[in-house]
């Protein structure tokens, strides 16, 4: 076993053969000189077996863990990893009418705008199946066939009703993932160990 010490909140390390005070005075044989260790600010961190254990950063501190767990994510970082996975899944898109609709921030803004326009067109008399509903808003500039470009770069024609439904689908897609992410974070806060916060089973 190797004894590790921290000096001035630095990383855990073996005691050096020689260390110096703030006045430049040398101190040696620190392992057997507790007064010198205190004078220099060395505080014992713990003992570890380098054949079976490793010292890793954990949050604002350090921990001794089994070697096989050394590459595990820092528990302090897991909420941030959950947040990043939430954003990734939101932006990955959602299924709609047999296609995948992109849902990055700018996509969601465009969807919300088109949904609002479709609702206005409905108020102006747009009927189910009417693909030229934009002309209800502007007879000169409205598209003859309103269509959305999907993730596979194909065109998906949408009447006003379908556009409104797509808008709600985008909202519910994001909302669901926000609540799933909160649930995962709550489980972590409660002390549950989750090996992989990006696993599909957690988010389905």
Q: How much is the pTM?
A: 0.67
**Where are the chain's structural domains?**
2-72, 77-203
pLDDT at 59: 65
pLDDT at 71: 67
Question: Using an 8 Å Cβ cutoff, are 152 and 100 in contact?
Answer: yes
Exposed / middle / buried, residue 201 (Cβ in 10 Å: 0-12, 13-18, 19+): exposed
What percent of the chain clears pLDDT 70, i.e. is strictly above it?
A: 95
CA angle (36 as vertex; 31, 39 as ends), nearest 5: 135
The helix, strand and coil proportions of the chain, stated in percent and rounded to the nearest 5, come to 45, 20, 35
Ranges of the chain with pLDDT below 50: none
């Amino acid at each position: 076993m190797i004894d590790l010490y921290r000096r001035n909140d630095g990383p855990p390390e073996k005691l050096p053969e020689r260390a110096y005070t703030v006045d430049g005075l040398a101190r040696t044989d620190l392992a057997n000189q507790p007064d010198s260790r205190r004078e220099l600010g060395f505080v014992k961190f713990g003992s570890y077996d380098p054949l079976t254990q490793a010292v890793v950063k954990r949050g604002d501190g350090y921990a001794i863990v089994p070697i096989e767990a050394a590459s595990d994510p820092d528990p302090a970082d897991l909420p941030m990893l959950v947040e990043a996975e939430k954003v990734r899944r939101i932006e990955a898109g959602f299924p709609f009418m047999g296609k995948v609709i992109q849902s990055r921030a700018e996509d969601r803004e465009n969807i919300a705008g088109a949904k609002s326009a479709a609702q206005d067109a409905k108020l102006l008399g747009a009927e189910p199946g009417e693909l030229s509903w934009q002309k209800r808003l502007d007879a000169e500039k409205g598209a003859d066939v309103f269509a959305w470009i999907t993730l596979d770069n194909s065109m998906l024609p949408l009447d006003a009703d379908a556009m409104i439904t797509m808008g709600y689908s985008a909202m519910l897609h994001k909302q669901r993932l926000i609540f799933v992410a909160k649930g995962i974070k709550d489980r972590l806060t409660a002390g549950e160990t989750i090996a992989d916060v990006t696993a599909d089973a957690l988010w389905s």
